[in-house]
Amino acid sequence: MEGLPPGVLGAQIAAAFAAAFAGRRLLERRLVAAAPEERQPRRQFALDFAMGGVAALAAAAQNVVIQGFPPLSTLGLIYGVVLYGFFIAMDAALDRERRIILRARAESRPLPPSGRLHSMTRRFTGFTVAAVLGVSLVNLSVLTRDISWLTTVGSEPQAVAQAIRAVTLEVLFILAVLLGLTVNLILSFSRNLRLLFRNETEVLERVTQGDLSRMVPVATRDEFGLIAAYTNAMIEALRHRIRLLSALKLAEEVQANLLPARPPDIPGVELAGASRYCEEIGGDYYDYIPLPEGAVAVVVADVSGHGVDAALFMASARSFLLSQAQRFRGGSRLLRVVNRYITRDSGATGRFISLFFLEIRPAERRLRWIRAGHLPGWLYEPASGRFRELDGRGTALGVSEETQFPEYEHAGWEPGAVIVLATDGLVESRSPQGEFFGEERLQAAIRAEAGLPAAALRDRLIAQVEEFRGAARQEDDVTLVVAKLA
């Protein structure tokens, strides 16, 4: 075949490729376009590489049948055409992948990659090894043939020089063609990488600006597809978190509205309360219930646990309490009815509510209270410097429908007396060293600040607890109600 003119050989190869690729469009529609998108690039490569092989066999057949060359003499031709078909197939596969990437980008498909991961680095390594091996074999074949030919040229200087020039031009031409094909594939591969990188960075840039409306289009089954899938999962998690934070913000506003906006105007009683939750919302609650004959009931309650579920449970308990308080006939009877409702709701949850119910009757200078599994209250009389604990037996609400709630009573108090009711989150607040704030510190703070108005005393007590806690995390909800008695 060495004596075959290049023009004739080129025409034969072109005719072979034309014949082999004649049905390519039909086969492409049936074998490639009909497949799932993640398989299309591989099928495109397989189809075009197979057609390159067919073209190589067709070109060799022409030389054997028409030119009468021995079959073994066409092996170099077959190898060269197959190598060229490999480059064509790789370029077609990359083009197919690029179209898929652009379509996914246009449709903004946030689907996760299916099947197992096809590593991009492994694919690129395979292409590089195949290209280098193919180019090396071509050069080795050409050099072997040309060296063999040079031995037949003879020793005449002019003939040797012409032969060397011919061999050099041939080698340079082959290298130029193979280099051009290789560079074309590298550029094609780079275009795909640039598209994938742009898809990722554009969405991430939006995320940094707070825009979570877009997902990264997933178009490949390689590392970029995996990164896109994880990025989309992150965006969806951020969306969920924002929805949750919005819901918590709304719940926080709702719960703030459930607490009294201001204390009732009761002659002889000055009231002030506050709740500080360790999360956005919590299970602590306090309220004031005006009673007949100028009396007032102060309620401080604490649901086991904290957070959203505790807040929801407390909201339902509050509704039971306020609905029954409209028909108030005594604290013990009120809590028995409320407890029955709460116990029915809490049976499957295991939750309960500790509660302190205090009636202040300034006209009679009398206190009545019920301690339902809650901290005792404290009555401080500054004139004598005496603390009285408003204690007693009692079980938390939600434990048993048959629970009884005994009432306790105290008559008389000194002018300027202070009553403090709190949840355990106050006395159990920890310092950075792990020490509890405790009842002794609370009583010392009450004694030191008892001359302040109720609201100022409340703020001072909370400030001292927060100062004691310092940088330590607030572990529980804190609720405090202060009553100043005339």
What DSSP element (H or E) covers 141? helix 120-150
> What is the full per-residue pLDDT of the chain (486 aa) written as tens digits?
444 555 555 676 677 777 777 888 888 889 998 888 878 888 998 998 888 888 888 877 877 777 666 776 667 777 777 888 888 888 898 898 888 888 888 877 655 555 566 677 777 777 777 777 767 776 666 666 656 655 665 566 666 576 666 666 666 766 777 788 888 888 888 888 888 888 888 888 988 888 888 888 887 778 888 888 888 888 889 888 888 777 767 666 777 778 898 999 999 999 999 999 887 778 899 999 999 888 999 999 999 877 777 888 888 888 999 888 888 889 999 999 999 999 987 767 778 999 999 999 999 999 999 999 999 999 999 999 999 999 999 899 999 989 999 999 999 999 999 999 999 999 999 999 999 999 999 999 999 999 999 999 999 999 999 999 999 999 899 999 999 999
170: its two tokens:
């041939």
Type of residue at 3: G
User: In sequence order, what are the residues at sequence separation of 6 or more whose Cβ sits closer than 8 angstroms to the Cβ of residue 426?
Assistant: 437, 442, 461, 465, 478, 479, 480
Tell me, rounded to whole angstroms, the distance of Cα 278 from its chain centroid.
23
- Report the number of secondary-structure helices (H) and strands (E) in the chain: 12, 10
CB-CB neighbours of 317 under 10 Å = 25
Per DSSP, which regions of 373-477 are E strands? Answer: 377-381, 386-390, 408-411, 417-422
Polymer length of the chain: 486
- 293 close to 287: Cβ distance less than 8 angstroms: no
Q: How far apart are CA 74 and CA 65, in angstroms?
A: 12
User: What does the alpha-carbon distance between residue 174 and residue 135 come to, in Å, rounded to a whole number?
Assistant: 9
Amino acid at the residue 121? T
User: Residues 314, 369: contact at Cβ < 8 Å?
Assistant: no
Q: In a 3-state reduction of DSSP, which class is residue 348?
A: coil
CATH 3.90.1170.50 fits 263-485, yes or no: no
In three-state form (DSSP H/G/I as H, E/B as E, the rest C), the secondary structure along 134-195 is HHHHHHHHHHHHHHHHHCCCCCCHHHHHHHHHHHHHHHHHHHHHHHHHHHHHHHHHHHHHHH
Best CA proximity match to 51, nearest among 80, 81, 76: 81
Contacts within 8 Å (CB) and 24+ apart, 66-70: 67/1, 67/4, 69/1
Structure tokens at 106: 């246009």
Q: How far is CA 319 from CA 3, 34, 285, 322, in A?
A: 103, 62, 12, 5
**Where exactly are the structural domains of the chain?**
6-232, 263-485
